[in-house]
């Protein structure tokens, strides 16, 4: 791997021939451009390039890139899968700096992490507690501060009652909160009410157990 010019006459001649070949190659290219250029490049430049970024949480992740000719799993941050026009997949790697250079706007436009709130209800009702009522203004302020801000209200129940009945009850709770937010002037099409029923308790219990802490609405502002 020495980089010093070779003193071996054979190698020197070889390198001159390579230089000559390069010159012809580039000359031919310029003649071909622009008509043949795209086709030529298509054969070489990857037709698709997939770059795995680190997860904000630091948890492991992966993507699998598949074509008719095979597939490749990349599972380390900054690994790259390149796909040629002919569908061959090869692996490469990049760095945080090179990604910043190649895709500045994909990084710049990334929205901030969603904000989360938990609202609680008076027992057996869709009526928010006074403390939770007081949080609504904070939620609205956060949503208005974001470009295209949205509010997702997800209602939850405890495990008392049937799954179906709890789906309905949780959706009613979410809709009640949504109505309050619309009343305060937030755009209705950017507030979604979701009912998750008894599927996501904060305090796990057996079925048919009353647990006030599980009767709640979770708010995501994004």
Partner 1 sequence: MRLSFTPCLLLALASAAPLAFAQAAAPAPEPAASAAAAASSATRIGTFKQVEGDIWVGRADTRRTPASGDGVRVAERVSTGQTGAATLILKDGTVLTMGPNTTMDLSRFQFDSTTQEGSFLLDLLQGSVRVVTGLLARINPDLFKVSTPTSVVGVRGTDFIVETQAAP
Q: Cβ 64 to partner 1, closest distance in Å?
A: 4
Please identify, using beta-carbon distances, which residue of 96 and 134 lies nearer to partner 1.
96
Collapsing DSSP to helix, strand or coil, 180 comes out as helix
Smallest distance, Å, CB 60 to partner 1? 8
Which among 222, 214, 221 is positioned nearest to 120, based on CA atoms?
A: 214
DSSP 8-state class, residue 57: T
Residues that bind partner 1 (CB under 8 A): 22, 25-26, 29-30, 33-34, 37-42, 44-45, 47-56, 59, 61-67, 75, 83-85, 87, 89, 99, 103, 105-111, 114, 146-150, 154, 167, 171, 187, 189-190, 192, 194-197, 199, 220, 222
The residue among 128 and 196 lying less far from partner 1, judged by its C-beta, is: 196
What tokens were used for 4? 């010093």
CB atoms within 10 A of CB 196: 18
- Cβ proximity to partner 1: between 150 and 211 the closer is 150
Cβ pair 177, 128 in contact under 8 A = yes
Closest CB to partner 1 among 149 and 201?
149
Q: Is 43 exposed, middle or buried (0-12, 13-18, 19+ CB in 10 A)?
A: exposed
According to DSSP, the residues that pair with 194 across neighbouring strands are 154
Minimum CB separation from partner 1 for residue 130, in Å? 28
Q: CB of 81: closest distance to partner 1 in angstroms?
A: 8
């Amino acid at each position: 791997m020495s980089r010093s010019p070779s003193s071996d006459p054979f190698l020197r001649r070889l390198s001159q021939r390579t230089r000559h070949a390069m010159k012809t190659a580039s000359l031919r290219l310029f003649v071909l451009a622009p008509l043949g250029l795209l086709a030529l490049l298509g054969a070489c430049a990857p037709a698709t390039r997939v770059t795995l970024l680190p997860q904000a949480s630091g948890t492991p992740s992966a993507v699998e890139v598949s074509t008719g000719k095979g597939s490749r799993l990349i599972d380390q941050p900054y690994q790259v899968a390149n796909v040629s026009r002919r569908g061959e997949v090869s692996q490469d790697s990049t760095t945080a700096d090179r990604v910043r250079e190649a895709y500045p706007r994909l990084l710049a436009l990334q929205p901030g992490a969603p904000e989360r709130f938990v609202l609680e209800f008076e027992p057996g009702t869709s009526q928010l507690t006074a403390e939770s009522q007081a949080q609504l203004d904070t939620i609205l302020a956060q949503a208005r501060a974001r470009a295209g801000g949205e509010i997702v209200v997800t209602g939850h129940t405890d495990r008392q009652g049937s799954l179906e009945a709890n789906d309905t009850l949780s959706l009613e709770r979410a809709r009640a909160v949504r109505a309050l937010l619309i009343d305060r002037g937030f755009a209705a099409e950017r507030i979604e009410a979701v009912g998750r029923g008894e599927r996501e308790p904060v305090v796990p219990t057996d079925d048919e157990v009353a647990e006030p802490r599980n009767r709640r609405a979770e708010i995501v502002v994004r």
